[in-house]
Amino acid sequence: MAPHLASLLLGGFALLATVADAGKPHVSHGKFKAGPWTVGHATFYGGRDGSGTTDGGACGYKDALAKDYGALTAAVSPALYDSGAGCGACYEVKAEGDSAINNKSVVVTATNQAPPPVSGQKGEHFDLTMPAFLQIAEEKAGIVPISYRRVACVRQGGIRYTITGNKNYNMVMVTNVGGEGDVVALMVKGNKRVKWTPMKRSWGQLWTTEVDLTGESLTFRVMNGDHRKATSWHVMPRDWQFGKTYQATKNF
């Protein structure tokens, strides 16, 4: 076989393989493993029942905050918030020193942004809800040294997608994400005219596209910080409506 013909055939096979791979669903491989323990410090905000912490926030979870994440949450320092990319991450936190309660730990979800690290304190700042803080330290402590580590998020049910906006501007909020918990990339695909389309982070975990998604069954592909991907096939039916939340059957 002539060398140039062989090169053409090999190039054609490579192109076909690339096209075939593009149509394959992406799935998670393995499970997210806990990270190393790191030194930090914690304060608390809100009421004893979590009031003042379960709505709004810099991650944009709004009304879904209480439903999907409950009262065991934290506002994290700007470095951990990471311009919204850190929203949804889970941390195991335990207090150190005299104010610690029997070396107990609590797992919290990052749902807001805290002020920068407190002057004179070591490591990153966690502003815990009071229900979370009281599980590891006495209220009178006010601010405590902590050890923390990144852990897998354990969620009930599948990933949830809330869509708002209009046909010319769609905004999707992604919540209840398991595994690493965060979302660093989001793509959407319709069942007809809309091909795989990257969405842009607006702020927190709110993602937008100006592509008209109406009238199509929508599939979303979530990628989290460890590059694992989960595809929620046809999670929104063709008659989906703005202002509603749709839940996938699977999670990380």
Residue type, 49: D
Residue 41: pLDDT band by 50, 70, 90 thresholds?
very high
Q: What confidence score (pLDDT) does residue 14 get?
A: 40
* Segment 66-90 mean pLDDT: 95
**What average pLDDT does the segment 156-176 reach?**
97
Domain 159-248: give its CATH architecture: Sandwich (2.60)
In whole angstroms, what is the distance from residue 216 CA to residue 196 CA? 13
The phi, psi pair for 131, rounded to 5°, reads -60, -35
Q: 146 with 91: CB under 8 angstroms?
A: no
User: To the nearest whole number, what is the mean pLDDT of the chain?
Assistant: 89
Please compute the mean of the pLDDT values over residues 6-22 and round it to a whole number.
Answer: 39
What pTM did the predictor assign?
0.86
Q: What is the pLDDT of residue 12?
A: 44
In the predicted structure, residue 17 carries a pLDDT above the cut 60: no
- Mean pLDDT over 116-131 rounds to 96
At 102, the pLDDT band (50, 70, 90 cuts) reads: confident
* Cα gap 48→157, rounded to integer Å: 28
Is a pLDDT exceeding 60 seen at residue 36? yes
Give the position of tokens 């140039």: 4
- For 148, the enclosing helix (H) or strand (E) is strand 144-151
Q: What is the pLDDT of residues 193-219, one digit of tens each?
A: 999 999 999 999 999 999 999 999 999
CATH number for the domain whose boundaries are 38-150: 2.40.40.10
The one-letter code for the residue type at 5 is L
Q: Enumerate the CATH 2.60.40.760 domain ranges in the chain, comma separated.
A: 159-248
> In the predicted model, what is the mean pLDDT of residues 156-174?
97
Residue 166, strand partner residues: 169
Over residues 215-241, the pLDDT tens digits come to 999 999 999 999 999 999 999 999 999
* Predicted pLDDT at 234: 98
pLDDT value at 87 more than 60: yes
Q: What pLDDT is recorded for position 182?
A: 96
Q: Judge whether residue 4 has pLDDT over 70.
A: no
Mean pLDDT within 135-139: 93
Within the chain, which residue ranges are assigned CATH 2.40.40.10?
38-150
